Amino acid sequence: MTQGVSGEVLLDVEGIGKSYPGVRANDDVSFAIGAGEVHALLGENGAGKSTLVKMIYGLVRPDEGRMILRGAPYAPAEPRAARAAGVAMVFQHFSLFEALNVAENVALGMDDPPPMRDLAGRIREVSEGYGLPLDPARLVGDLSAGERQRVEIVRCLLQDPKLLIMDEPTSVLTPQEVDILFATLRQLAAEGTSILYISHKLEEIRTLCDAATILRRGKVVGTCVPREVSARAMAEMMVGASLSAPARATGELGPVALTVERLSAASPSAFGTSLKEVSFEVRQGEVLGIGGVAGNGQDELLAALSGEARTGREVVRVHGKGIGHLGPNERRQAGLCTAPEERLGHAAAPDMNLVENALLSGSVRKGLVRRGFVDWTGTRAFAEAVVRTFDVRTPGTGTAARALSGGNLQKFVLGREILQEPEIIVVNQPTWGVDAAAAAFIRQALLDRAAKGAAVVVISQDIDEIMEIADRFAALNEGRLSEPVPVAGLTLERIGLMLGGSHGMHRAEAQAGEIRHAEA
Amino acid sequence: MELFGITPSVLLASLMVAAVPILLAAIGELVVEKAGVLNLGVEGMMIMGAISGFITAVHTGSPALGFLGGALGAMALSLVFALLTQVFLANQVATGLALTLFGLGLSSLMGQGYNGIKPPRTPDLPFGPLEQIPFFGRVLFSHDWVVYASVAIVAAVWAVLKYSRAGLILRAVGESHDAAHALGYKVVRIRVLAILFGAAMAGMGGAYISLVRVPQWTDGITAGAGWIALAIVVFASWKPWRVLIGAWLFGGITVLQLNLQAAGSRIPVEYLSMSPYLVTILVLVIMSSGRGRASLNAPASLGQNFHASR
């Protein structure tokens, strides 16, 4: 693919800057995207990628600098103007309406949509043309994450864009869906559409992108041709320091700590997934990774383990003792701590400060409440210990949880649970939306906890993460959990099949694998 | 044909009239809630409409101008709500309740000196021979223009919400204001317009009470009709035609209890007068107990304030 190198420049960004009160989001950012080029924008959270693309898409106006699109000055006042100029964007979150159907969602993203009947036909035509089949009449609330993304992509494609901006498109996809997406993007690039691809998954960028611009703290710190440099080199440019992969001690596994047997639970939400006969056990010192695309029962599973949703007494057992009927505090007492995915509003109360948030989950195991009175000195010390040990960057423990960045709050939430020294810890999406350095830190902390003899359950959509830290892997699909298999020797294809829910096939294959193993 | 001393055709005809105020207010509130705004000030806007419409009609001598005045009066009051909730991001529930209290007080002040006056009459539309059709003539063709206009408005709201682009955008804003904003729609502007439409409808509903139903001015004349309208929106699970059914149902109960009283029913008057409110509570309890369906149809951003910082 040489279009990007030889072709003309599509968008030229020159010296763009943007300040918010107290933050310099972008400072003198310059780069150029060629026609038909797949250009990566790399950076950690808070590096200024989002602000930059929002300026290109007309959602935010730059303070200084200028942009040139196809030789003409380009300063979109609103997304409508950007779309009219041929710039389209696929969002990471917040741009679909669950209660509306596919065609209505597409129509909302267009400035001059054709009548609904024609639109439905064009959606079918375009979506099939790019290998992303979609039924225009279905409610978006009933679609999987991958299908939802198709809706967004098709919405953009119907407007025949010259530049397609993709914000973290693969964070919610299975490996097979990623392959389909990449094939589509390559087809688009071959047809002359430029793609601005935002991600922090370096391997993806290396397989897909022609050029990369790396941002750190709002500034361009480097450019490279991703195929020619290693992922590690890019990561270090992104972080500005060297990274080390988490170290895992290979200790002996202890007895079974957590048992879940035939757990079935209806989902409390209309768009949720009910759990169907989920069974697994985790031993002391073991990390079980539960993979799966969002919305396949992860939240429901966490709720059943944390005690938010109660089950039959013997369905969930800790060290052989039934705790399924107990609430969260009694389960903490029994040694089971959990950290849900949603940081603000579920794991932490947004408007309460870190000390208060530390008390909310730590009061039982740390003995922070005596005779009905709160031991504020002890609580403050506990919160400070979490902040110190987990390197939470905050002005102090009196700061409201809402004011922390996602990564910092995640470190706080996980640190709060880990410092309670639980015998079993269950986390959902521990590094979702967290930058590379913080993610490495969190993974290491979980492994350390396992090394000290705790049973760890990591529910994650990030397959790389599970491969990195888990001993065994199980896939959650439409509320059913596959048989856990050892991570060692697991291929991406196998994982993809498991995530896709081909359980029968995978069992047969697992047996075949064992036989092959035995023969070898 | 009579049942317990009540003629069915008269009962049906009068329930259509009795339902107009709550029907108008409820269809307006439905649009407001579809845009994601919970305005609990319907009662206050209705009574402001009742007094503004009454004053306008008395001074101009024109009932039609009276309805316009009612709509404008309620819209003026709703601007307070729009400013507080959409610009200053005040809590919608508290602001809505305050709006009702404020409207009740302000209408009482404005109504000083209008007690005991009769407003100009709103005539029934002439339908000629149609009025002579047995039963149906009495039920369908013996009303003033507002009755027909209110049904037409329900049809229009249904068609706009279902088929037009404006309706789609309105629903989108009520469903997810963040997504709508990301696509470049003006969330606050759309919501303010929805609030104004809701207020105009509530105001006309209020004016119908003081100009046609009663017709005179007394303090607190709306007597909780705004609250019933709010309940009807939930009862209808945010669907326009069900609002019509709900309004007729509640209108019917109101008329029935009046007729029963007149027919000398042995049930004490107090029980009969409380029946519409009791039924409202019952219906709300039943609707909310089947959580899945009702909550599924509720606009997802209902009652949440939007701040465009992201």
> What DSSP designation does B259 have?
H
Residue A28 phi, psi dihedral angles, 5° rounding? 50, 55
A170 within a domain of the structure (yes/no): yes
Please state the domain count of chain A: 2
From chain A, pick out residues whose CB is under 8 angstroms from the CB of B180: 97, 108
What CATH number has the domain bearing residue A155? 3.40.50.300
How far does A84 lie from chain B, in Å, by closest CA? Answer: 12
B310 within a domain of the structure (yes/no): no
Q: Which residue of B has its CA nearest to A156?
A: B183
Give residues 413 to 472 of A whose Cβ lies within 8 Å of B. Answer: none
From chain A, pick out residues whose CB is under 8 angstroms from the CB of B175: 97-100
d(CA B71, CA B208): 11
The pTM for the full model equals 0.72
Amino acid identity of residue B72, one-letter, is L
Q: What is the pLDDT of residue A282?
A: 93
Task: Specify whether A221 is located in the same domain as A260.
Answer: no
How far does B278 lie from chain A, in Å, by closest CA? Answer: 30
Interface test with A, best of B171, B183, B302 (most A CBs within 10 A): B183
Q: What is the pLDDT of residue A520?
A: 39
Q: What is the pLDDT of residue B193?
A: 97
Task: Specify whether A160 is located in the same domain as A228.
Answer: yes
From chain B, pick out residues whose CB is under 8 angstroms from the CB of A83: 184
Spatial strand order of the sheet with A23-34 comes to A23-34, A9-20, A64-69, A72-74
In the structure, what pLDDT confidence band is assigned to residue A508 with cuts at 50, 70 and 90?
very low
Cβ distance B182 to A91 less than 8 Å, yes or no, reads yes
Query: What pairs with residue A23 in β-bridges?
Result: A20
Task: Specify whether A180 is located in the same domain as A274.
Answer: no
**Token couple for A340:** 């849900």
Please state the domain count of chain B: 1
Q: What is the pLDDT of residue A94?
A: 57
Q: Report whether B104 contacts B220 (CB < 8 A).
A: yes
The percent of residues above 90 in pLDDT, for chain B, comes to: 59
Q: What is the pLDDT of residue A491?
A: 79
The closest alpha carbon to A186, from A216, A208, A167, belongs to A208
A334 within a domain of the structure (yes/no): yes
Q: Which residue of A has its CA nearest to B186?
A: A78
Q: List pLDDT tens digits, range A291-301.
A: 887 778 888 89
A374 within a domain of the structure (yes/no): no
In the structure, what pLDDT confidence band is assigned to residue A516 with cuts at 50, 70 and 90?
very low
Cβ distance A94 to B176 less than 8 Å, yes or no, reads yes
How far does A367 lie from chain B, in Å, by closest CA? Answer: 37
Q: Which residue of A has its CA nearest to B183?
A: A109
Q: What is the pLDDT of residue B296?
A: 58
Is the pLDDT higher at B261 or at A308? A308
Q: List pLDDT tens digits, range B121-168.
A: 988 888 888 888 888 888 888 899 999 999 999 999 999 999 999 999
From chain A, pick out residues whose CB is under 8 angstroms from the CB of B310: 94
The percent of residues above 70 in pLDDT, for chain B, comes to: 94
Q: List pLDDT tens digits, range A268-279.
A: 766 678 888 999
Q: Which residue of B has its CA nearest to A103?
A: B168
From chain A, pick out residues whose CB is under 8 angstroms from the CB of B238: none
Q: What is the pLDDT of residue A2?
A: 38
Q: Is A512 on the interface with B (CB under 8 A)?
A: no
Residue A145 confidence (pLDDT) above 70? yes
Q: What is the pLDDT of residue A226?
A: 86
Owning domain of residue A466: 256-347+422-519
Is the pLDDT higher at A405 or at B24? B24
Q: Is B165 on the interface with A (CB under 8 A)?
A: yes
Q: Is B183 on the interface with A (CB under 8 A)?
A: yes
How far does B300 lie from chain A, in Å, by closest CA? Answer: 8
Q: List pLDDT tens digits, range A96-133.
A: 888 889 999 999 888 788 888 889 999 998 888 888 88
What CATH number has the domain bearing residue B56? 1.10.3470
3-state secondary structure string, A78-97?
CHHHHHHCCEEEECCCCCCC
Owning domain of residue B264: 8-297
> What DSSP designation does A19 have?
E
What's the rounded mean pLDDT across residues A278-297? 88
Which residue in A94, A98, A270 is closest to B178 by CB distance? A94
Q: List pLDDT tens digits, range A386-421.
A: 999 888 878 888 888 887 877 788 889 999 999 999
A359 within a domain of the structure (yes/no): no
